């Protein structure tokens, strides 16, 4: 479920599936896109904050839903995820990610769609997909290099390594790290400072800043979806995701 609350000119969108660490399944992705459209249509909203319920921001896409997909269904799932996240990124107002916990896979990709990322000291980031036999498929191969640079992005993607908030801050993935109890108050304070400025000027500043990178990005995402989908016809993907869901040990990858 996606919760959307509004106070004055600030909206807070909360990913609320705590029993699954807020993992994004098809229903959550559809809800995320619908919530973004509601925010877009509400002219009173000047800033959006996105966070997660419980101890996770978003732990990733739903492995249980993905594990039995074939290449075509995998591509379709990737495109659905891209569409939902891109709807957030394309909002004309500033978006702040208040990353309260795990931001892995699709969660890291969602955070990358925000203009500003604040993180709790308990937050953890990563693109662990290659350890599951797939590639990042919700924009990670495209947005992560644009934010932290290609070499560091490829290191994180290739190794599937999960990093703590302090390292994420050091490499430029997040803007500030805060004690858990200060995360949302600081996000609201920052949103209030932005909302107090001229709305048209703020929107135009975002449009200008996003103009060049956005045009190239959406063409590149289509190629990402094709490559993401192709992974679902491999034995490695079937083995790794089955092991993840059943909580059993993976066997070595074979490259097939």
Q: Please tell me the distance from the alpha carbon of residue 20 to that of residue 213, in angstroms, as a whole number.
A: 33
Pair 165, 119: CB distance under 8 Å: yes
User: 83: pLDDT confidence band, cut at 50, 70 and 90?
Assistant: very high
Rounded CA-CA distance 111/144 in Å is 10
Q: How far apart are the first and last CA of the chain?
A: 36
Continuous H helices in 171-234: 180-195, 199-230
In this prediction, residue 220 carries a pLDDT of: 82
189 Cβ contact partners less than 8 Å away, ≥ 6 residues apart = none
Tell me what pLDDT residue 224 has: 87
Check residue 210 and give its pLDDT: 81
For residues 84 and 33, is the Cβ–Cβ distance under 8 A?
Answer: yes
pLDDT at 184: 97
pLDDT above 70 covers what percent of the chain? Answer: 98
129 is catalytic: yes
Q: Residue 215's pLDDT band (boundaries 50, 70, 90)?
A: low
Residue 219: pLDDT above 80? no
Give the separation between CA 98 and CA 118, rounded to whole angstroms: 5
pLDDT recorded at residue 79: 94
Report the DSSP beta bridge partners of residue 47: 10
In 19-107, at which residue ranges do the beta strands (DSSP E only) sit? 47-52, 56-58, 95-99, 102-104
Estimate the crossing angle of helix 199-230 against helix 140-148, to 10 degrees. 130
**Residue 214 pLDDT greater than 70, yes or no:** no
All structural domains of the chain, each given as residue ranges with its CATH number in brackets, are 2-180 (3.90.226.10)
Active-site entry in 43, 109, 186, 249: 109
Confidence grade of residue 213 (pLDDT, cut at 50, 70, 90): low
Q: Determine which one of 19, 30, 44, 129 is catalytic.
A: 129
Among this protein's residues, is 109 annotated catalytic?
yes
pLDDT tens digits for range 175-202: 999 999 999 999 999 999 999 999 999 9
| pLDDT exceeds 80 at position 36 | yes
DSSP 114: S
Give 256's pLDDT tier (boundaries 50, 70, 90).
confident
pTM metric for this prediction: 0.93
pLDDT of residue 217: 77
The angle, 0 to 180 degrees and rounded to 10, between the axes of the packed helices 71-89 and 199-230 is 170
At residue 54 the predicted structure's pLDDT band, cuts being 50, 70 and 90, is: very high
Residue 178, pLDDT score:
98
pLDDT at res. 94: 98
Host H or E run for residue 17: none
State the average pLDDT for the chain: 94
């Amino acid at each position: 479920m996606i919760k959307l609350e509004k106070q004055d000119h600030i909206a807070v969108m909360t990913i609320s599936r705590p029993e699954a660490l807020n993992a994004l399944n098809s229903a959550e992705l559809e809800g995320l896109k619908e919530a973004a459209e509601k925010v877009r249509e509400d002219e009173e909203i000047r800033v959006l904050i996105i966070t997660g319920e419980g101890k996770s921001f978003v732990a990733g896409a739903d492995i249980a839903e993905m594990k039995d997909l074939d290449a075509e269904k995998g591509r379709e799932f990737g495109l659905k995820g891209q569409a939902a996240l891109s709807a957030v990124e394309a909002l004309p107002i500033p978006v702040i990610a208040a990353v309260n916990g795990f931001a892995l896979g699709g969660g890291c990709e969602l955070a990358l769609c925000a203009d500003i990322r604040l993180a709790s000291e308990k937050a953890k980031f990563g693109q662990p997909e290659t350890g599951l036999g797939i590639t990042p498929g919700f924009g990670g191969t495209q947005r992560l290099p644009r934010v932290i640079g290609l070499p560091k992005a490829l290191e994180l993607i290739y190794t599937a390594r999960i990093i703590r908030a302090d390292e994420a801050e050091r490499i430029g993935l997040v803007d500030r790290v805060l004690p858990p109890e200060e995360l949302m108050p600081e996000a609201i304070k920052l949103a209030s400072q932005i909302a107090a400025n001229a709305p048209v000027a703020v929107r135009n500043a975002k449009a200008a800043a996003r103009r060049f990178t956005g045009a190239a990005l959406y063409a590149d995402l289509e190629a990402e979806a094709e490559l993401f989908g192709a992974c679902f016809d491999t034995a490695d993907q079937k083995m790794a995701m089955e092991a993840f869901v059943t909580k059993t040990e993976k066997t070595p990858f074979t490259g097939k």
